[in-house]
Amino acid sequence: MKISIIVPAYNVERYILQCLDSLRKQTLDDIEVIVVDDGSTDLTASLARNYIQDLPYFHFFTKNRTNVGDTRNYALLKARGKYITFVDGDDVLVPKACEILYRKAEQTQSEIVVGKVMRRREDNSLFFVSFLEHWFHYDKNYNFRENDSFLFNYPILNGKLFLREFLSRYDIMSPSLIAGQDRVFSFYANYYSKKIVVIPKVVYWWTIRQDENNRSLSQIFSAEIVQSRIAATQIIHEFCERQNLCGLARENLRHLDTLNSLILKIRNFKEQQETFEYFQNFIKKIKKKELTQDMKEILSISYEDFIRLDYAQYLFINHRLELEKIYNRKAWKWIQKYGDWLNETKIGNWVRNLFW
């Protein structure tokens, strides 16, 4: 068995058939598809079960509702393929995805192969994932295991192929989190690997849900989900502390800025305050000076000041910083316009020559 495709699914009745269609159309032979329904309350389970009933290499399971991390782990224990890839139930693999990833893994003997992911709207229009795009412009023979930034800054599981024996050897599983488990799994896999290759070929379409009543986790900013993402960062931090990996711990803490911005997106003030306090308690546990000295650069406030903030002060500082950013952006636009006026108009040329 070459590849096991693991599909966790929860309330994706609108997308699951398109997902399964894309897996059935894979050009690589000798694969299996493991679909696990995580206690859906819509028609996801019945649609998937009916779709795969005549497809012997598709396997369907149901379990009580927990989270996507537990669901992936459940399927991982049932997988038989040499390699593993994960596909969310609302996403799509391009037809040659498995073939492209498998051939590259065999050719390079890499534990991890990373293919390109595109965001997809429901009208099938595609666009780049901006925060990932720069990774696809390196030399094709570059080993990304040598890049500490990559360990943290390619956090999604989509579009990746993992050697199953490697995952088993290091007992790499998803933590039982509502959100953020991708980041932890990716970090552990990246850290323990010896070779990671990235290929600039599109293998995966990542769906942007447009149903207001059924958003994906990446589109929801609740206390529960943001705290889960904070917990993921804390899991990685504690691992780095235990292993005395100060450089990696510093790189991990650069994610605090993103977590801070997620807290500010929580609409309910009570939930926001609760999440700020959860975030602050995590930061208070960071004691090493070589880690705390970067806080001002990351959060625009020193470690000592941040751990003493109350919620009202926290809001005031962040809103002030946001206003400064807006002001600076507007000021820069006016400077650019003034420069264009000096260079491109007759009177502007006259003023420039008069004073310069």
- pLDDT of res. 318: 80
CA distance 303 to 284: 8
Distances (CA, A) of 73 to 3, 68, 231: 16, 9, 19
The pLDDT of 61-89, averaged and rounded, is 97
Torsion of CA 240, 241, 246, 248, to 10 degrees: 20
Read off the pLDDT of residues 175-214 as tens digits, 9 standing for 90 and up. 999 899 999 999 999 999 999 999 999 999 999 876 656 6
CA distance 203 to 161: 11
CA distance 100 to 98: 6
- pLDDT of res. 317: 81
Read off the pLDDT of residues 140-184 as tens digits, 9 standing for 90 and up. 889 999 999 999 999 999 999 999 999 999 999 999 998 999 999
Read off the pLDDT of residues 116-135 as tens digits, 9 standing for 90 and up. 999 988 777 888 888 899 99
Read off the pLDDT of residues 221-247 as tens digits, 9 standing for 90 and up. 789 999 999 999 999 999 999 999 999
- pLDDT of res. 48: 98
